[in-house]
Structure 1
């Protein structure tokens, strides 16, 4: 049985919005690229009080085409794939930072051991 992947909190509202408004992964990705907030999707999709509004998926597609000049993103990834890539990238950065710190500490200890020997000698008694 595969271990369930941890999803960072910043991606959870997007997953909830995808389920609540029945959006595809492409629509969610387009909305993220446009800078839309998933918390405001209810305002964008309020067709009961404002029936002249277009459906939310069509609204996102229109805005995306207007801003980027194309109908869909070149590569569509699900929010779970984006979250997994985000977690992997953070883990890689953390490992690089840790290895850099280890190299730096080894260099400092080596430099300190080289500098200790001349300083630790007692002063000459003949002077």
Structure 2
């Protein structure tokens, strides 16, 4: 299942036949995948470089290296994000249980003893 925030990246990868590395470079550069159509118009505007080369040139200019050190696909990013969210939910649930458990013990020990 694709996240709505990631959907434009999936569409751009398919439409412009970009690799995982190119998508990651474009994401790190903060590019807008919805604007790739105007950047990838080298057929009608021959002075433009192909989109893959344009992304690689911009990435090299900004980061000083030709590609990211560790390339992760969009699917891997979504999976890692789901794992992170699940851990966070579990941690919150554990904390909620611990807090309600502590309140119950505290109330029992500090309650007024009528006996």
**Equivalence for 1:99:** 94
**Equivalence for 2:35:** 40
Q: Which one is further off, 77-86 or 40-49?
A: 40-49
Structure 2 CA distance for aligned equivalents of residues 37 and 113 of structure 1: 57
Please report the TM-score for the alignment, with normalisation by the length of structure 1: 0.85
Task: State the 1:44 CA deviation.
Answer: 1.3
Query: Is residue 2:22 matched to residue 1:22?
Result: no
Please report the TM-score for the alignment, with normalisation by the length of structure 2: 0.93
Structure 2 CA distance for aligned equivalents of residues 8 and 90 of structure 1: 13
Query: Is residue 2:110 matched to residue 1:115?
Result: yes
Structure 1 CA distance for aligned equivalents of residues 93 and 63 of structure 2: 39
Structure 2 CA distance for aligned equivalents of residues 89 and 55 of structure 1: 36
Structure 2 unaligned blocks of 5 or more:
none
Question: How many residues matched?
Answer: 115
Helix, strand or coil: the match of 1:117?
coil
Structure 1 CA distance for aligned equivalents of residues 47 and 87 of structure 2: 48
Structure 1 CA distance for aligned equivalents of residues 112 and 99 of structure 2: 21
Any idea what the Cα deviations from partners look like across 1:58-86, whole Å, max 9, x if unmatched?
00000000000000100111111111111
Task: State the 1:11 CA deviation.
Answer: 1.3
Query: Is residue 2:51 matched to residue 1:61?
Result: no
Structure 1 unaligned blocks of 5 or more:
1-5, 123-127
Which contiguous aligned blocks of 4+ residues in structure 1 show a shift greater than 6 angstroms?
A: none
Larger Rg: 1
